[in-house]
Amino acid sequence: REVLRTQGRTAIVLVPEIALTSQTVDRFRGAFGNDVAVLHSGLSDGERFDAWQALRRGERRIAVGARSALFAPLERVGVVIVDEEHESSYKQSETPRYHAREAAIVRARAEGALVVLGSATPSLESWERADRGQAVRLTLPDRAAGAQLPPVQLVDMRSAVKEALASRAPQAPYDPLLRVFSPVLLAAIESRLTRGEQSLLLLNRRGFAAFVQCHGCGDVQVCPHCSISLTYHRVPESLVCHYCQHHADVPSSCARCGHATLQRRGLGTQQVEKLVAERFPEARIARMDVDTTSGKWAHTQILDRVGRQEVDILLGTQMIAKGLDFPNVTLVGVVDADTGLNLPDFRASERTFQLLSQVAGRAGRGPKGGEVIVQTRMPQAHAVTHALTHDFVGFVHEELGARRHPAYPPFVHLANVMVSGVHQGATAAAATAAAEWVTQLMRRQGLRDLVLVGPAPCPIDRIKDRWRWHFLLKSSQPRLMTRVARYVAERCPVPADSGLRLVVDRDPVSLL
Ligand SMILES: [Zn+2]
Ligand SMILES: [Zn+2]
């Protein structure tokens, strides 16, 4: 970056989400002062206009921001840096569905600039690119300030819960804490409180309980607009759909069988907060998830309190895994490592590995060192075993093996063709017809290096009252994929009734 200054060129720095990476942004400001223009969604239109003008006129030469900062009006760009390049927030989920990492490579090529992709857990796409010689891999083996990676301890919750329940006093009342926290993790939190050090607890699911189920017939409360169970929230008490924000009152009895008892199943951050507060009444606890950070500066306020050591235990979703640097945090506890592992998505293992590695990296950043405790019911999963030993290369080898047959990225390029509509039958028929149309196209054009998989209902087959079907296109040739994806998006005929829509998503980050 210093070289750039002597060359008189400019730079673009992309970060995943400004609110979660304020420490990174501060570091850039500290190093480059008035050369930096920060672009983020919290800017008013006027502020944004001023920042863009300053960049356009060359008054500021480094644009730092999320995804869209890639389009900053800079001239003579010398370097594009993509920090935490594996982050899925670089993918825009609405049209235009570009992936900022891929777009960065395109812009840099056009300007003759260098691209630096930074990550402690690179995406398999970028790793493979280096394997093929299309990128140079630079390794930083040492942690900042020479700190050691913290030791990670695994707790198999299947046996831990059994033992904890067996060793209870005979008349002891039922204690839900025992099913959620192993004695090891409880003791570790306790010792941090005694020593005045801080703990981070990760649970990647917000709300109080994952779903509400009838004790009598097993019926689960689902969203009336989406094929997904409603999440139970305690404050304020309601059932919430995390896909469409539908809110419903908690029913007092089952609508199907009339049974009066509804069970709350599965764990959310609100429940963990309550359990921890009951067990450690003297502890100062803060929760960080989508529900507590909707205000403009809510993130910063919570993190500032952690920085001032006004919080003993910070618990939250994946938000707390990213880039935080607090030297007094000496314990990271992963309450349930398995929440993301069983999703029907080929990146489920990769995401879990990244999340575990990142949150583990939050412990022991200061001279006091630190430790990580991971609770799981799937201790053999390769995402878990390799995260324990900080073994990225080992994980990549196993995961790449799993992506060869059937082929998934990085071995093929992917396009997800999604057909949605308000009627189930019409949507299925349109998806089938579209897949047939593409199959004919492939046959006519002799496109041998193109595979069509499907069509089938999406794993979540209805969102916001729209039924969803999809099929996948796979090809090892990126240019062919670009051509076909564009052709299908523009030409594939879709009946003009039942609100039918066809969307082609190139390089999808999620197949749900
Ligand atoms: Zn029932
Ligand atoms: Zn919904």
Ligand nearest to the CA of 253: 1
Q: Are strands 36-39 and 62-65 parallel, antiparallel or unpaired?
A: parallel
> Which CATH number does the domain 148-204+267-402 belong to among 3.40.50.300, 3.40.50.80, 3.40.640.10, 3.30.200.20?
3.40.50.300
Q: Which ligand is nearest to the CA of 229?
A: 2
Task: Give me ligand 1 centre to Cα 260, in Å.
Answer: 8
* pLDDT computed for residue 28 by the predictor: 79
Q: Which residues of the chain have pLDDT under 70?
A: 1-6, 18-21, 141-148, 323
State the Cα–Cα distance between residues 32 and 47, nearest whole angstrom. Answer: 20
Q: Are strands 329-334 and 371-376 parallel, antiparallel or unpaired?
A: parallel
Q: Distance, CA 173 to ligand 1 centroid (Å)?
A: 27
Query: Residues 354-387: pLDDT tens digits?
Result: 999 888 888 888 788 889 999 998 888 899 999 8
Give, as one character, the DSSP assignment of residue 7. H
Within 8 A by CB and 6+ apart from 25, the residues are 15, 18, 38, 64
Q: How far is the CA of 375 from the centre of ligand 2 (A)?
A: 30
Distance 219 CA to ligand 2 centre (A): 17
Domains 2-119 and 148-204+267-402 are alike in CATH topology: yes
**Regarding beta strands 247-248 and 238-240, do their DSSP bridges make them parallel or antiparallel, or are they unpaired?**
antiparallel
The pLDDT, as a whole number, for residue 334 is 94
Residue boundaries of the structural domains of the chain: 2-119, 148-204+267-402, 211-265, 413-506
Strand, coil or helix: 59: coil
How would DSSP label each residue in 405-467?
TTT-TTSSEEEEEEEEESSHHHHHHHHHHHHHHHHHHHHHHT-TT-EEEEEEEEEEEEETTEE
In this structure, which ligand is nearest to the CA of 221?
1
> Which residues, in sequence order, are bridge partners of residue 503?
418
Judge contact between 471 and 456, C-beta under 8 A. Answer: yes
Q: How far apart are the CA of 178 and the centre of ligand 1, in A? A: 28
Residue bearing tokens 């030409």: 491
For position 281, what pLDDT does the model report? 95
Decide yes or no: CATH 3.30.70.600 for domain 413-506: yes
* Ligand 2 mean position, distance from CA 462 (Å): 8
**Alpha carbon distance 239, 250 (integer Å):** 6
Question: In one letter, which amino acid is 186?
Answer: L
In the reported structure, the alpha carbon of residue 264 is separated from the centroid of ligand 1 by a whole-number distance in angstroms of 13
CATH 3.90.730.10 fits 2-119, yes or no: no
- The sign one gets for the Cα dihedral 301, 304, 309, 311 is positive
